[in-house]
Amino acid sequence: MRKIVHVAGARPNYMKVAPLMEALRAVPGVRQVLVDTGQHYDASMAMVFFRDLALPEPDRNLGVGSGSHAVQTAKVMIGFEEVCLDERPDLVVVVGDVNSTLAAALVASKLLIPLAHVEAGLRSFDRTMPEEINRIVTDRLADLLLTPSPDANENLLQEGVGASRIHLVGNIMIDTLFRYLPEARFDRVRNLFPIRKHDYAVLTLHRPSNVDRGETFLSILKAISKIGETMPVVFPVHPRTLNRIAEFGLQPWLDRVLLTEPLGYLDFLSLVVHTRIVLTDSGGVQEETTALGIPCLTLRGNTERPITVTDGTNRLVGTDTGNIVSGFQEAIDGRSSARIPELWDGKTSMRITNVIREFLHV
């Protein structure tokens, strides 16, 4: 019996872990253990995703909660080391680029436990982003680098990673997206907001570079207020972002914005599927809108998912008020020649399963 420990720490992680665990359940001789680090500790930010995605109850919950990057990483390392010593896994699987990903990778590597990184090789080439450091270090330690797109392979090869460790498998988030797409009905959300199908915008903001700087946040919200004159803007607000709105006194710029608490996966997917356009600083949302063919404006100067720009529906507009407004107008007026990237087909979890089976000789 081979034992695999999966680590999930934040909402995007759950969307990546769910299809892989389901695919591996069909493999005889494999036992899976799910560890929830508790990095997203609010029920609306985490446990609702376990419910929506039919994930099993976590076998271990580390309950690390909030804290600085160092504090959060250290807490996960302490708790996860204990898990590894108890469980003695044959493989640790980490996903994405959050602090929990880095922490688990460090622990597994020091305990000489093989490590697989799902969504390996992505780079923004901006080391002011904490996630970029997490990505680089995790990839240096991983034995299996499971990449979502060809640019990720190229990044790893340029960094000197051996080709035998790199496996182009596609985007596992799209597995979850396609599976639950039939349930993403407009009637899940139309009673929550005064909106009409394909006649509203969706906004998400959570990155510290955007919401922790009053001047930057104000520049973004000025643009959102202007866009609100054209169509309703629905804004599911991250708790941390809500605190910054109050701290910086930005409420007056949200008069034309429909604020709501964070939504579960199915409700948020329903909101996105039927929107006209999405404005975001989230990497995962860039991928989902590309797969759905929905225009997306990324409120950042760079992206670790460039394929969403070169092949998909994404545009980088930064945080300048004028650039956001003009990008919005161009996106809703223009025609897109976007396409779904190669291997974003809903079968990534099966390809990862085959790689893991070969690696573990199952």
List residues with catalytic annotation.
Answer: 206
Q: Is 95:142 a contact under the CB 8 Å cutoff?
A: no
CA distance 256 to 253: 8
The dihedral sign for the CA sequence 113, 117, 120, 124: negative
Paired tokens of 118 = 């799902």
SS3 category, 133: helix
Q: State the DSSP code for 29.
A: T
Long-range interactions of 15-18: CB distance < 8 A, separation 24+: 15/49, 15/53, 15/172, 15/173, 15/176, 15/177, 15/265, 15/284, 16/95, 16/96, 16/118, 16/119, 16/172, 16/173, 16/176, 17/55, 17/93, 17/95, 18/53, 18/54, 18/55, 18/176
Q: Contact, 29 vs 57, CB < 8 A?
A: no
- Which helix (H) or strand (E) segment holds residue 202: the answer is strand 201-204
Structure tokens at 21: 């665990």
3-state helix, strand, coil in the chain (%, to 5): 50, 15, 40
- Give, in order, the Cα–Cα distances in Å from 27 to each of 4, 15, 348: 12, 20, 16
Nearest to 310 by CA among 335, 290, 331: 290
Place of tokens 């207020």: 225
| Residue 13 Ramachandran class (φ > 0 left, ψ -120 to 50 alpha, else beta) | alpha
Could you give the count of Cα atoms lying within 13 Å of 191 in the half-sphere of its Cβ?
3
Residue 316, SS3 per DSSP: strand
